[in-house]
Amino acid sequence: YSHKTSTSSSSSSSSSKHEFHENENNLIIEIDSLYKSFGETNQFVLNNIHFNLYQNQITTLLGHNGAGKTTIMNILCGIYEQTYGSIKIFNYDTKYHMDYLRQFISYCPQHDILFDLLTVEEQIYFYIIAKGYSKDKETICSNFLEKVNLTNDRNTFCKNLSGGMKRRLSIACAFIGNTKLVLLDEPSSGLDPINRRNLWSWIQSMKANRTIFLTTHFLEEADVLSDRIIILSNGKLIANDTNNQLKLIYGTGYKLIVNTLNNSLNKNIFKIINEIFLNSNIQSEINNQLIIQTNETQSNLFIQLFSQLDLLKENNLILNYGLTNTTLDDVYFHLINKNEDKLEKDEENRDLIENNCLEIFNKNNVY
């Protein structure tokens, strides 16, 4: 990297009707018809990707391993060039202006890139000086070390830091200076729960006048941080919307969780529940826990159900019960599984067409 890139939308059906509500004055990145392949293969690891990123927002990119998340990050910071498509940052085309744009971009990759023989303080100083803030380096350094809880380790060599400490230092480096676009590839990977939550609070506080784009495998992290969520599967964009809209569009209703004395009672308990919630089904029954999914929304039915469950509890037929709304986990797994099913059907159709073509070909050949 040069020192200017520190180591540190609307194609989906769910997003098209919401994208125009964003303030176009805050539009920072426009990605249109993005494709990426490697080598001479015709296989695209990114296939017709469209989305926008806005100032003062945190957008999270979700997807399974190999979905294309890191490839998008590497294209945005100029490590890779797209095969086809257009990317504009501050209305500058990255194909022609990437060297200029790097001064506005910071990138924290998946794997920490630190100098082993620099101390934590010296590592921070390196980025402060490289970005032209040497006059205030002591103040800036102390501020960042405090934010990522590394003040007491400022004189420790980077090679002697734990994995979580290296991660926090790398993220601090990404926010140094006046960078307007901050790319964070799995920022909380390797952090313990306390430091992860502290990091979330800090990232939230840093989004003013910035555009933060991050990837993660922690759905709770995406739920907490995101103004907008993008989901990739096998190189294709399958969702792009706000957290609430995704839950509204792809939600599966409510989950009723009933902890029973033993699984033998589940059939009778579900029968009682199903008489009230006609539109319900058993999602799972494991370890004396009965999980029922329902799309019912009438409040009077819920009151009736809770009264019935309280009676069951008083008679020691169930231990307790709870009710949860659709979570981001539900949305994510629904969309990923739906896309996988579509891919399987497409593959079956291709095989069927190929077999039919071979059969016709063989019949028409005379030997």
Q: Where are the domains of the chain?
A: 6-248, 253-324
Angle between helices 163-174 and 137-147 in degrees, nearest 10: 130
What is the enclosing helix (H) or strand (E) of 30?
strand 27-37
pLDDT mean across residues, the chain: 87
* CATH code for residues 253-324: 3.30.70.600
Q: Is the pLDDT of residue 297 over 60?
A: yes
3-state secondary structure of 3: coil
Q: What's this model's pTM, rounded to 2 decimal places?
A: 0.78
What is the β-pairing status of strands 57-63 and 318-324? unpaired
Letter for the amino acid at 151? T
Average pLDDT value for residue range 206-214: 95
At 80-128, the pLDDT tens digits run 999 999 999 999 999 999 999 999 999 999 999 999 999 999 999 999 9
Is domain 6-248 classified as CATH 3.40.50.300? yes
Q: Is the pLDDT of residue 344 over 80?
A: no
Structure tokens at 17: 């009707």
Give the pLDDT confidence score for residue 37 in this predicted structure.
Answer: 93
Give the pLDDT confidence score for residue 116 in this predicted structure.
Answer: 96
Average pLDDT value for residue range 121-142: 94
Report whether 230 contacts 62 (CB < 8 A): yes
Q: What percent of the chain has pLDDT over 70?
A: 86
Q: Is the pLDDT of residue 252 over 80?
A: no
